[in-house]
Amino acid sequence: MKLSARNRIKGKVVEVKKGAVAAQVRVDIGGGTVVTSMVTVDAVEDLGVREGGEVSVVIKSTDVMLAE
Amino acid sequence: MKLSARNRIKGKVVEVKKGAVAAQVRVDIGGGTVVTSMVTVDAVEDLGVREGGEVSVVIKSTDVMLAE
Amino acid sequence: MKLSARNRIKGKVVEVKKGAVAAQVRVDIGGGTVVTSMVTVDAVEDLGVREGGEVSVVIKSTDVMLAE
Amino acid sequence: MKLSARNRIKGKVVEVKKGAVAAQVRVDIGGGTVVTSMVTVDAVEDLGVREGGEVSVVIKSTDVMLAE
Amino acid sequence: MKLSARNRIKGKVVEVKKGAVAAQVRVDIGGGTVVTSMVTVDAVEDLGVREGGEVSVVIKSTDVMLAE
Amino acid sequence: MKLSARNRIKGKVVEVKKGAVAAQVRVDIGGGTVVTSMVTVDAVEDLGVREGGEVSVVIKSTDVMLAE
């Protein structure tokens, strides 16, 4: 699948925390950077996301802010 | 300023493309990864974003998807 | 690629309008419903989106509002 | 109310799952497509969203990605 | 129409700037605060947004960040 | 820190509700307007958000819809 979202970075899952509906997943993308994602619990289970597993983070360009 | 957005990664601006309202900024965050951002032209000018300059990309956790 | 975004609907491109940075793409998903998408011009060109072509619309669950 | 969000599709609620803060609502929009939405529990209660009820899903065009 | 988006604030349009696809609208919501919105040109024309006109800004709670 | 997000409004926290992953924070920005935010519990704790405290709400322009 090719996606319009411009940003996709591979990483390793370092934490999965599940609530009733929302889940927080933290992904180490290398270089000392850990990215935090909040998705549905359904998505975590459907993708089989688990600590130590490989996953990519995907981000639309309109969702990337800039800071100085 | 401390921000609720969980993700902030430093990088170097490699491209700035401006339309009438929207601007596309590409930021090299290291490790061979270039992140694409779409913000307003006003923001680019207000922050003084320019090719070669340093900038951070900032992303809310609800805007980070996962892919396998 | 399996994606955490919960919503994916197949359709046919009925309009592509390009600005300098942003592009608007309208996709007929059947049942009389046409979905409007705003993405980067880069994405439109990278995916080869063109009128009459097939494409899926993909939407994160946190981006789906409800109205009554 | 007329809204800038370009996409509005009528459907029937097929599932409501509530956490402490976030709620997941699944809406059948016909043609075999069920859309998943994550909103606040407050919104679900304020709108009186319940299984079997009618509701529209509303999506901004910048939140619609494309995939091929 | 009742909407799941939790935030709706009335204001007066103080600027409309149109590109080919994206438009920037600035809305004075009182108390010295002007809110900037980026929507499609189609939305601006469909709603008849014009300088001096009244309009509400609407924001989903997942799109509201906090800063200290 | 200077941010590309165009909208920042100061206020006072009037409610903090925490789930396992997501938290809802309501902020009084004056003029009778209370803004609802949904962020991660981690963000609430990291920023030390508490009822009665001062905080700013920050919103990207692409996340501001218009309604008439």
Per-residue pLDDT tens over the stretch C27-51: 999 999 999 999 999 999 999 999 9
pLDDT band for position E43 (cuts 50, 70, 90): very high
Cα–Cα distance measured from residue D21 to residue D40, given in angstroms and rounded to the nearest whole number: 6
Checking if the pLDDT of E1 tops 90, the result is: no
Measure CB to CB from residue A21 to each of D38, D66, D67 and give the nearest one.
D38
**Structural domains of chain A, with CATH:** 7-58 (2.40.50.100)
Q: What are the two backbone dihedrals, phi and then psi, of residue A3, each rounded to the nearest 5 degrees?
A: -120, 145
CA distance D15 to chain C (A): 13
**Mean pLDDT, chain E, as a whole number?**
98
Using one digit for the tens of pLDDT, what is the confidence trace for F40-64? 999 999 999 999 999 999 999 999 9
Cβ of D66 within 8 Å of Cβ of C55? The answer is yes
Q: Which residues of E21-57 are buried (b: 16+ CB within 10 A; e: fewer)?
A: bbbbbbbebeeebebbbbbbbbbbeebebeeeeebbb
Cα–Cα distance measured from residue A52 to residue A56, given in angstroms and rounded to the nearest whole number: 13
Give the neighbours of chain A: at least 3 Cβ pairs within 8 Å.
B, C, D, F
Question: For residue E46, which residues of chain D lie inside 8 Å, CB to CB?
Answer: 2
pLDDT band for position A68 (cuts 50, 70, 90): very high
**C61 in contact with chain E, both atoms CB, cutoff 8 A:** no
End-to-end Cα, chain C, rounded Å? 34
Nearest one of B5, D51, D44, C59 to E64, comparing CA atoms: B5
Using one digit for the tens of pLDDT, what is the confidence trace for B11-51? 999 999 999 999 999 999 999 999 999 999 999 999 999 99
- Which positions 23-52 of A are in contact with B (Cβ < 8 Å)? 24-25, 27, 29-31, 33, 35-39, 43-44, 47-49
**C4 in contact with chain B, both atoms CB, cutoff 8 A:** yes
Using one digit for the tens of pLDDT, what is the confidence trace for E8-22? 999 999 999 999 999
pLDDT band for position E64 (cuts 50, 70, 90): very high
The tens-digit pLDDT sequence of chain D (68 residues) is 899 999 999 999 999 999 999 999 999 999 999 999 999 999 999 999 999 999 999 999 999 999 99
Single-letter residue type at B60: K
- Residue A27's pLDDT is what? 98
**C3 in contact with chain E, both atoms CB, cutoff 8 A:** no
Question: Distances from the Cα of C46 to the Cαs of B6, B26, C12, E20, F16, in angstroms?
Answer: 29, 16, 17, 20, 43
Measure CB to CB from residue C40 to each of A2, A6, A39 and give the nearest one.
A6
Cβ of F22 within 8 Å of Cβ of A38? The answer is yes
- Residue C1's pLDDT is what? 85
pLDDT band for position B1 (cuts 50, 70, 90): confident
Measure CB to CB from residue E43 to each of F39, F54, F66 and give the nearest one.
F66
Cα–Cα distance measured from residue D64 to residue C37, given in angstroms and rounded to the nearest whole number: 5
ipTM: 0.98
- Residue C44's pLDDT is what? 98
- Residue D67's pLDDT is what? 98
Strands (E), F1-68: 7-18, 22-30, 33-40, 54-59, 65-67
- Residue E66's pLDDT is what? 98
Cβ of F38 within 8 Å of Cβ of D60? The answer is no
Cβ of D68 within 8 Å of Cβ of C48? The answer is yes
Using one digit for the tens of pLDDT, what is the confidence trace for F10-48? 999 999 999 999 999 999 999 999 999 999 999 999 999
